[in-house]
Amino acid sequence: MKAVATTFLLPLALAAPPNIFKRALPDHTPVNIPNFDGFDANCGGTTIAADDIFNAVAWGTNLQRAGQTVGSNNYPHYYGNGEAFKFQDDLCNQQPQNNRQEFPIVKGDTYDGDPDDAGLYRAIYVHDPNSQPDFEGNPTSTYCGTIYHAGSDNSFKGCDVST
């Protein structure tokens, strides 16, 4: 009987669209990023739009608050700063309780876990998921900077940060 059921159900499961198995992601709650200057970043000759940077930080913050990650690299995840960047905000330079995070920047969208969309560019931010929301009830994050993969060795170079 099990073999018969498998024979009939397996083709249906394989024919199902892949996103039917995706888990529900949190809502895109507005995020307060008070130190974000709203300027585009120049990453090795490529301009990264300020809106895309903001959206990456906001979506990473929403995922972090929900205790969720996306993609095979589990974004957002801790960014250890092996390159010793000097970030714009002192909080970002302190490695506070492993709350400095890395999240992919996607042009005109937000990263949803598709490995082909992770690209080269990352927004770095600090967010404590246990922090209190702002006066409007929205989470707050601190923008640290934008970085990018410049070569095949997986190291980063700074866009609006330097070493």
pTM of the model: 0.83
63: left (phi over 0), alpha (psi -120 to 50) or beta: alpha
* Residue 136 located in a structural domain: yes
- pLDDT exceeds 50 at position 28: yes
Q: Which domain holds residue 101?
A: 45-158
Query: Is the confidence at residue 6, as pLDDT, over 70?
Result: no
What's 130's domain CATH number?
3.10.450.30
Q: Is 59 among the domain residues?
A: yes
DSSP string, 27-87: P----B-TT-----EEETTEEE-HHHHHHHHHHHHHHHHTT--BTTTTBSEE---TT--B-
| Sheet containing strand 142-149, strands side by side | 77-78, 100-104, 121-126, 142-149, 156-158
Answer whether residue 163 is part of any domain.
no
pLDDT at 116: 80
% of the chain with per-residue pLDDT over 90 = 67
Spatial separation of the C-alpha atoms in residues 153 and 163, rounded to whole Å: 18
Task: Say if residue 9's pLDDT is above 50.
Answer: no
* Contact assessment for residue 89 and residue 67, using Cβ atoms and an 8 Å cutoff: no
Instruction: Please check whether residue 89 lies inside any domain of the structure.
Output: yes
In this predicted structure, which of 5-19, 34-48, 65-79, 97-111 has the lowest mean pLDDT? 5-19
pLDDT of residue 69: 96
Report if residue 21 sits inside a domain.
no
| Residue pLDDT, tens place only, 65-79 | 999 999 999 999 999
SS3 labels along 70-111: ECCCCECEECCCCCCCECCCHHHHCCHHHCEEEEECECCECC
Say if 10 falls within a structural domain: no
Query: What's the rounded Cα separation, in Å, for the pair 141 and 131?
Result: 10
Structural domain count of the chain: 1
pLDDT at 12: 46
The verdict on residue 3 lying in a domain is no
